[in-house]
Amino acid sequence: MMRAPATVGQRLEDIDTPALVIELDAFERNLRTLAATVKDRPVRVRPHAKTHKCPEVAKRQLAMGAVGVCCQKVSEAEALVEGGITDVLVSNEVVGAQKIARLAKLSRRAHIGVCVDHADNVAALEASGAKLDVYIEIEVGMGRCGIAPGEPALALAQRIAAARNLRFAGLQAYHGRAQHIRSMADRRAAIDGAAKAVHRTEELLNKHGIECPIVTGAGSGTYMLEVESGAWNEIQPGSYIFMDVDYGRNEWAAPLPRYEHALFVLTTVMSRPAADRAIVDAGLKASSVDSGMPAVWQRPGVVFRSASDEHGVLDIASGAQPPALGEKLLLVPGHCDPTVNLYDWYVCVRGGRVEALWPITARGAVY
């Protein structure tokens, strides 16, 4: 694990770079905004810890009313349980003997849920002796994992209901593609379609005497649409705590709040080779570019044009305040989740001073 690039009490401008910075005031406002939007709604909040990979963040989400968290990997769940989180849903299929053995072990320490989309996987989970809440992932437009809604889901639910130790906990219905559909109207249409698939499957299950306690899913880009549809009673927003450039490009309108940018990469201008160009010490190993380039924060006319492994190239418009050699700038990551996965520490800043250092204990937890 890399040592932290900062110390508590240090000024923002003295932090070594690149560093992953949480602006605590904005982060805490984001936590409160989520709670306010779902207040008095018949929905549980289970934030997605794949975004932050950090028990310290999870604890603050629980303090705001979350029932637990979710994550995508057994190794993430292990890090979260190790960090004191007692209710974790792996919102993903867990396939393979070693992974299932680790999940079984974890299920004796904490309340663990998992998703399935295949009867063979149910059999393997059953054989492991794991004590699990099992959710059927249904395909609702994402084109990734998930069994077809309706009859195939019913057959799988009957298989789970017959399994020792496994409890059929409900449906996982996540429309990932919908999160970044830019227009509100198109996002609503996508979620309406997913809601129909959920309703149809739930009615079929009920008709066959299978109760479906939880329908879980939804992300930061759509979750109020799921809530308003009435088809979901648990939501899994992740990125709302941090936001990023990609989410920033969405249209935001009621019922969805626009969250604030609370996650930044602090970077240093390391070369000024031309009047219209500056080079910073944060490249694609410091800010993931899978969803586009980071943005330079509050520096009009200064644009992050391209990234190589360890360098970022900034274009400086004529008339813009030129970044000086050695100056530190804040970048908003293009995509928060994989950017977080590059760092071992959050440097938590309030009022321009480092208030805390939080270890990202599930960084690199891919298996």
Contact set with a copy of itself (CB under 8 A): 1-2, 5, 14, 16-19, 50, 72-73, 75, 92-96, 98-99, 117-118, 120-121, 139, 143-147, 176, 268-273, 277, 279, 281-282, 284-286, 288-290, 307-311, 313, 325-326, 337-338, 341-344, 363-367
Judging by beta carbons within 10 Å of its beta carbon (0-12, 13-18, 19+), is residue 193 exposed, middle or buried? Answer: middle
Q: How far is the CB of 342 from a copy of itself (least distance, A)?
A: 7
Instruction: Output 140 or 227, the one with its CB closest to a copy of itself.
Output: 140
Q: How far is the CB of 17 from a copy of itself (least distance, A)?
A: 6
Per the CB < 8 A criterion, the answer to whether 217 and 173 are in contact is: yes
Report the candidate in 334, 173, 177 with the shortest Cα–Cα distance to residue 242: 334
Instruction: Output 45 or 282, the one with its CB closest to a copy of itself.
Output: 282
Q: How far is the CB of 357 from a copy of itself (least distance, A)?
A: 14
Instruction: Output 74 or 212, the one with its CB closest to a copy of itself.
Output: 74
Instruction: Output 108 or 144, the one with its CB closest to a copy of itself.
Output: 144
Q: How far is the CB of 254 from a copy of itself (least distance, A)?
A: 28
Strands 214-217 and 234-235: parallel
Per the CB < 8 A criterion, the answer to whether 135 and 110 are in contact is: no
Which residues 6+ apart lie within 8 Å of 54 measured at CB?
A: 83, 346, 358, 359, 360, 361, 362
- Report the Cα–Cα distance between both ends of the chain, in Å, rounded: 18
Q: Name the H helices within 128-214.
A: 151-161, 184-207
Q: How far is the CB of 3 from a copy of itself (least distance, A)?
A: 9
Q: How far is the CB of 95 from a copy of itself (least distance, A)?
A: 4
Report the candidate in 92, 48, 171, 84 with the shortest Cα–Cα distance to residue 100: 92
Instruction: Output 226 or 337, the one with its CB closest to a copy of itself.
Output: 337
Instruction: Output 260 or 310, the one with its CB closest to a copy of itself.
Output: 310
